[in-house]
Structures are given as structure tokens and as C-alpha cells.
Amino acid sequence: MSEVWLIASGKGGVGKSTTAAALGMALARGGRTVCVVDADIGLRDQDAILGVENAVVYDLIDVARKGCALEQALVALPGEPRLQLLAASQFARARDLNAKAFGKIIDRLREKFAFTLIDCPAGIERGLRNLLTCGADGAILVTTPDAVCLRDAERTSQLLREKGMPEVRLLVNRVNPLLVERGETPSAAQAAARLELQLLGEIPEDLNVCRAALNRLSVLDVPCEAREAYLRTAARLRGEKAPFPGYGTKKRSLWRRLFGPALKEMKPID
Ligand SMILES: Nc1ncnc2c1ncn2[C@@H]1O[C@H](COP(=O)(O)OP(=O)(O)O)[C@@H](O)[C@H]1O
Ligand SMILES: [Mg+2]
């Protein structure tokens, strides 16, 4: 059985590309064949995130316009025999990708890979709409827990449902346990309840995500909380059960309450 998931968001910069790369790698290391498709036309990121920017010769638009064979455009990842990338074009625009041609590419990827993860452009404009008819099994909607981002996620969820997306699951990224504890942001479970979506994953705010990228490493290759969270999320995507830690919702031990990190009440300057 093969599965195709769109990785979408209302607002940009919420962690879609980080998520596509981390989940792709986690699924591949767990024994599944995976293709990550960078469909953020004109803003190609995945080749850099996956560390293969020098290996990209052909891209999604080259294949969609029939200039080259799909096999020629798929980029193998060194040391990751089950993971491949179909890169986005750096110079094309969203309108250069024909929805029908994209659907045909996805049909062929479905035959080759157990999982196809499509890293989508942010928002609900043409860039995303072009991808909605590709026959995906579902969408992973990525959001951060702040009010603006949740509102955009809600709008995107509505569009996905209106367009007949069979399943929409929520991934709440950059959850800061201290802000949840103080009630300044909702927990991941509260965000999912507000959006009436099933929670697929909660990833904590973790400096190691940025640091891994700066050091050209995968977040899965550094020991950190975000790594564990992505591994649990990949397990859920495989249909397995994995616990939700509920960042910021559990009562802290006396020791951590006394000596752990704390936030003071925020007061505006007079
Ligand atoms: N859980 C996290 N903790 C800290 N930084 C993160 C986290 N997730 C993503 N980031 C950072 O946020 C920025 C945007 O992430 P990216 O995946 O490019 O977002 P998008 O694809 O939605 O635009 C990157 O610099 C990334 O390293
Ligand atoms: Mg991106």
C-alpha cells in the first residue's frame, strides 16, 4: 500500500519543509521507501535541507513539461537508500505547474514509493490549489500554536475539506512548554480541538532544529527532543501508536518548579 500526503500550512515559515524532510527520513530509516516532493515552486528548499543541492539536475517542472524522465529527476540521498527527492524548480512560478501533469507524476511516484510527502507552498492560493487534485490520501496541516497562525490554519483546513481532501491531520510545531504552562498559547491538543482536527504530532520549540540546519545535519541525527517528537509522529503516520507528551500540560516536579526555567508575567513598559 502506498500513501501520498500533502504537507500544507496557512502561514509560511511554520516548519513544513523541516517536517517533510524529518518525516521522510524517519519513515525511510524505519524501512519504508519515501519520495519527498518539493512543490514549493520558485522557493526550492528541500535540496538544501536534505543536503543535496549540488546533485539536482532536473526538477519537478522539467518532468511535468515532459522534458525529462521522472527517474532522471529523482535525486538519491547519500547514506539513505530508501529516500529520494524530486526537487522544485528555482525559477518557475506556481502557474507553470499544470495540475493534471502533477497528478500523473504523483500516480507514478505512488507505484515506486510507500510514502510520497509533498512539501507545499504556504497559503491557499494557486500554488496549493494546483496540488489539490493530485489524488493525495490526506494532508498534514502544520501550524504553530499562536492565534494568527491558528486562524490561517483554520482557513486552510476549510479549503482542504471543501476541495474533498479525504483526511486532514494537524501537526503543531514549535510548542513552547513554558507558554503553554502560563496559558499564553494553547497546548497541541487544545489547538487540534479548536480546529476540529485529529492531532498527528506535536513538536517542541527546539534550538537544535535550527542548529542542525546551520550545521547541515538532519534533526534526526542530533540527540534532541524534536528528534524524538518527529520519530513518534512518523510512527503514527505508519499507523502505530505513540504517546503524546502534551508539552506544557503536565505538572512539573517540585525540583523543576523551584529551579527549572520560568517566565515572569509580561507587563508593558509605562
Ligand atoms: N520545532 C522547531 N524549533 C525551532 N525552530 C524550528 C522548528 N521547526 C522549524 N524551525 C525553524 O523555522 C524556520 C522555518 O522552517 P521551514 O521548515 O523552512 O518552514 P516552512 O517550510 O513552513 O516555510 C527554519 O529556520 C527552521 O529551522
Ligand atoms: Mg518551506
Ligand that comes closest to the CA of residue 16: 1
pLDDT digits (tens, 9 = 90+) for 121-147: 999 888 899 999 999 999 999 999 999
Put the strands of the sheet holding 198-204 in their side by side order: 74-77, 80-86, 34-38, 115-119, 3-8, 138-143, 168-175, 198-204
Question: Model confidence at 22, in pLDDT bands (50, 70, 90)?
Answer: very high
Give yes or no for a contact between 103 and 97, defined as CB atoms under 8 angstroms apart: no
| Domain 3-259, architecture per CATH | 3-Layer(aba) Sandwich (3.40)
User: Mutation test of ligand 1: which of 209, 220, 233, 247 has the most ligand atoms closer than 8 Å to its C-beta?
Assistant: 209
Question: Model confidence at 259, in pLDDT bands (50, 70, 90)?
Answer: confident
Q: Tell me the mean pLDDT in the region 206-221.
A: 96
Q: Tell me the mean pLDDT in the region 159-183.
A: 96
Q: Which of 59-73, 113-127, 217-231, 255-269 has the lowest mean pLDDT?
A: 255-269
| Predicted pLDDT of residue 262 | 81
Residue 186, pLDDT above cutoff 90: yes
CA of 213 to the centre of ligand 2 (A): 13
Average pLDDT, the chain: 95
Comparing 94 with 159, the larger pLDDT belongs to: 159
Protein residues with CB under 6 Å of any ligand 1 atom: 9, 12-18, 45, 173-174, 203, 205-206, 209-210, 213, 226
- Domain spans in the chain, listed from the N-terminal domain onward: 3-259
% of the chain residues with pLDDT over 90 = 85
